[in-house]
Amino acid sequence: MDPHVDQVYHREEALASIEAAQQNTLQKSTASAVHDSIKELTAKVQTSLSVKSRAGASAVRVTSQVLASILAGFPGDLSFEPENEEEPVHLQMVPEELLIMFLRKLDTTSIERFASVCRKARVIALDSVIWRELVGATYIPPQITRDEDLTSVLERYLYDYRRVYIEHPRVRLDGVYIATCHYVRPGLSENSWVTINHLITYHRYLRFYPSGQVLSLLANEEFTPQQVIPLLKPTLRMKGFYIGTWSITDTTIQITNLLDASGRYPLPTDNLPTSSVNNSDGSEANRYTFVMTLDLVSRPLGRWNKLNILAYNSVHLGTGDVNPVALKNERPFWFSRVRSYSVY
């Protein structure tokens, strides 16, 4: 037997303890590295989600959270209640699914009026089926660009269809935008010490169609809006009437190819480009087209009822020369709903 066996034993024990300590340290460092890696990955995902929803973050705080806080205060067992307790409530007998089907046939104004009746009506009117159909029918070209996918718009608003319809820019098709403009014209006076001025009023009208067509009319004070609105159709022929096309990007509306449709010049057809100055039959054609750039504003939220003119230019079809149109007396367009106008 080795006389130094006890020293060998202690040496082996020391080596084993050192090896165990090293293994423990390695495991801890590996676990720490994995933990740090998980934390880093989580942070990246959270940052990605934050960037993805940043465009609608403020709107979520302003609208969704306010509405959610209101709904949180509603009791669980909502029902339609009569104003007079002795009267029956026949609406209570109608299933909610059937009520939603009714609401899908209404316009947004009628839906929100129904929602203001009571708490249960408010909850039913928030059903995503109603707003999904409205969004799908509304946000198609030219309401969105052909390169833009509706899915990207929905992601911006976290797939809240009601928020999309209220907050995402859209041109109103259920009425007409009207600008009331004034200017002062000096008059004639028999007395040199008397100054006579005349206040002249005129109106600009813009009616948008879902096909991308737009009607523009400049009418003097002889024609009131009540007289003009029923006549504002593509078949109208009067001085100051133009037909063009429109598109929207974000809140900027671009109106192009505004051609004189008063009846003075024949309108171009598919076989006749707008750049031609003379028709094949020798008659004179449009020499100018107009381009208008507008800024769409919503006052209050969800109305999209104001248009500010950013630029208005005339383009010579023969030479391509562009000249700005004076906008000294122009005023913003304000939307006026017309019941007889179709939305789709």
Looking up tokens 């009023």 gives: 201
**176-228 pLDDT, tens digit each:** 999 999 999 888 877 777 788 889 999 999 999 999 999 999 999 899 999 99
∠ at Cα 288 (286, 292), nearest 5°?
130
Joined tokens for residue 289: 């087209």
Q: Say whether both 214 and 160 belong to one domain.
A: no
Q: Say whether both 259 and 155 belong to one domain.
A: no
pLDDT above 60 (res 241): yes
* 121 or 31, greater pLDDT: 121
pLDDT tier, 316 (very low <50, low <70, confident <90, very high otherwise): very high
The answer to whether position 1 is within a domain reads no
The answer to whether position 187 is within a domain reads yes
Q: Is the N-terminal amide bond of 332 cis, ω within 30° of 0?
A: no
CA-wise closest residue to 216 among 237, 238, 240: 240
Domain containing 61 equals 54-167
Radius of gyration of the chain (CA): 34
The answer to whether position 255 is within a domain reads yes
**Alpha-helical runs (H) found in 53-158:** 57-59, 65-72, 96-103, 108-115, 119-125, 128-138, 150-156
The answer to whether position 32 is within a domain reads no
Of the residues 143, 167, 191, the one at which a domain ends: 167
pTM of the model: 0.75
Q: Say whether both 211 and 307 belong to one domain.
A: yes
pLDDT above 70 (res 65): no
The answer to whether position 238 is within a domain reads yes
**250-304 pLDDT, tens digit each:** 999 999 999 999 988 887 764 444 554 455 555 577 889 999 999 999 988 899 9
The answer to whether position 5 is within a domain reads no
**1-31 pLDDT, tens digit each:** 555 555 555 556 655 665 565 555 445 444 4
Q: Say whether both 184 and 321 belong to one domain.
A: yes
pLDDT (0 to 100) of residue 169: 97
E strands, the chain, are 175-186, 197-208, 213-220, 241-249, 252-260, 288-297, 306-316, 322-324, 333-337
Strands 213-220 and 175-186: unpaired
